[in-house]
Chains A and B, each alone.
Chain A
Amino acid sequence: MAYKYDPTARYAKTHDWARVEGDLVACGISDYAQHALSDVVYIELPDVGTTITQGQVYSTVESVKAAEEVYAPVSGEIVEVNEALADAPELLNSDPYGAWIIKVRPSDLSELDSLMDAAAYEAFVQEEEKGGH
């Protein structure tokens, strides 16, 4: 499968992406993640003001297939939630890099260094495809 990658984002092994936007970091799920999920029907959005830690579950995405947890790629305070997803969660399928889920005021930008760039993530996905399904 050929998946899309946002070259300006960085990626966690949990298939979550983080993208610096001004002094905030937008977070979402990758094209590979949405493809594996199949049609998304619902997302449990977190509250603005919640503090999250890198690797922590901050949302649950439900597809026709299953409920999948979404992990924070960076630590910080959630300052914006993409309310458009409440009414149109399928945007996660059609535009995974446009459909950010939260914007975070990061507490430690150096955490981004622990994430993969697009090329490294693409290689990671290809390995997953070979090994798994």
Chain B
Amino acid sequence: MAETLKRTALYDEHRRLGGRMVPFAGWELPVQYDGTGPTVEHNAVRTQAGLFDIDHMGQVEVAGPDALPFLQRLQVSDLSDLPVRGARYSLMCYADGGVVDDIFVYRLGDQRWWVIVNAANRHKDVAWMQAHAVGFDVEIRDLSDETYMLALQGPLAQAVLQRLTPLDLNTVPFHTCAEAEVAGIPTLIGATGYTGEYGYELFFPAGEAVTMWRALLEAGRADGLLPCGLAARDSLRFEPCLPLYGHEIHAEVDPISARLGWAVSFAKGDFVGRDALLKVKLEGPKQVLVGFEMVDKGVPRGDYPVAVDGRVVGKVTTGMKAPTSGRFVGLAYVPVAHSAIGSPIDIVIRDQPKRAVVVKRPFYTPAYRRR
């Protein structure tokens, strides 16, 4: 592979902490840290707190008098009721309903919004946004290079962050954001994340990355805060069944089939992909994403075939031994006829069909959904 991988400003910090660097979406990032490892890092986030370098993710500012109508047309959710300082998960779709990317939308002002996009899709997304801005009075700016992004996640994330900011974090509830100093650095604090735990995503000037990273690790040392790699990030988002672009969602699958219909608003008016998605909703999807658990012994993994009666009918998108429960579980696309809870399916592991059964999703109830 001749392609040059990009390094984040924290590359040397990761190496010093024993980070095992691997290529991911064009970047060289730690998959795990030696001395802890994926399971320990995963458990730290579930029980204490973890810190993730996610600078590879992109930040795109949309501003101007037509920002709201433009975003209403560009993505699938209804943002008209999102207040200033609100944040929401959504998706951008192609006209045929396939997913361009899943995104997080922050409303920073009446006419100023941020759209957080996946690293691998950044340039494609910005081009897609520009192409659809014709006729709208908006300015679209890719702020990814000058903006650094860290995720601080876990039940102790608030206590850790509170030590570094004068802002009362009780005034920043889940899925809102606020601007404040953190470790003396002007920061946009988003009470968001992708682990199934409460926590924060922090946006600040890229030149301050090392200062912020060290300050957070130091502030959380006594609480068991650990730096966490990509492996833990994947298992943490997998257990609550949060989709990952390129696996559960991509250009060939629509949000309805991916069980993300809750994010789609048909009532808000027209948007790119609406007709195609409405058709899927009315006619029902052909394949749907299901959760499954192994009955036979074996580790399910992404891309393994799903078979019924010896015939391949679908594909695993993500599978693993879920670290929190120890269950061998996965997500897979299967025909609707085999999607009911309790349906037997086979996962083909190294050419051997292994029995599994469709089970309820998610595999882990996110902290913010517990009553």
Contacts and interface: CB of A to CB of B under 8 A. Distances in A.
Nearest to B320: A64
A39 B38 contact: yes
16 contacts: A1-B34, A35-B34, A38-B31, A38-B32, A38-B38, A39-B37, A39-B38, A41-B321, A42-B297, A42-B299, A44-B298, A60-B350, A64-B231, A64-B320, A65-B31, A67-B350
B301 interface: yes
Nearest to B37: A39
Interface in B266-301: 297-299, 301
Contacts of B301: 67
Interface residues of B, number: 16
Contacts of B37: 38-39
Interface string A50-84: 00000000001010110100000000000000000
A39 B297 contact: no
A60 B298 CA distance: 10
B187 interface: no
Contact of A64 (B34, B38, B328): B38
B235 interface: yes
Interface in A1-19: 1
Interface in B35-58: 37-39
Contacts of B235: 64
Closest 8 CB pairs of A and B: A41-B321, A62-B299, A64-B38, A39-B39, A42-B299, A39-B37, A39-B38, A64-B231
A65 B31 CA distance: 9
A121 B235 CA distance: 34
A41 B299 contact: yes
A32 to B, nearest CB: 13
Contact of B299 (A1, A35, A38, A67): A67
A38 B350 contact: no
A64 B229 CA distance: 12
A42 B38 contact: no
A42 B32 contact: no
A42 B231 contact: no
A67 B347 CA distance: 15
A113 to B, nearest CB: 33
Contacts of A65: 31, 38, 231
A42 B321 contact: yes
Nearest to B298: A42
Contact of A41 (B32, B34, B320, B350): B320
Contacts of B320: 41, 64
Nearest to A93: B37
Contacts of A39: 37-39
Of A38, A42, A60, most buried by chain B (CB within 10 Å of CB) is A38
B66 to A, nearest CB: 46
Given A64-B38, A64-B320, A38 B298 contact: no
Nearest to A36: B20
A21 B186 CA distance: 64
Given A38-B32, A41-B320, A41-B321, A64 B39 contact: yes
Contacts of A41: 299, 320-321
Given A42-B299, A64-B39, 5 more contacts: A38-B231, A39-B37, A44-B297, A64-B321, A65-B38
Nearest to B39: A39
Nearest to A90: B39
Nearest to A35: B34
A44 B350 CA distance: 12
Interface in B305-341: 320-321, 328
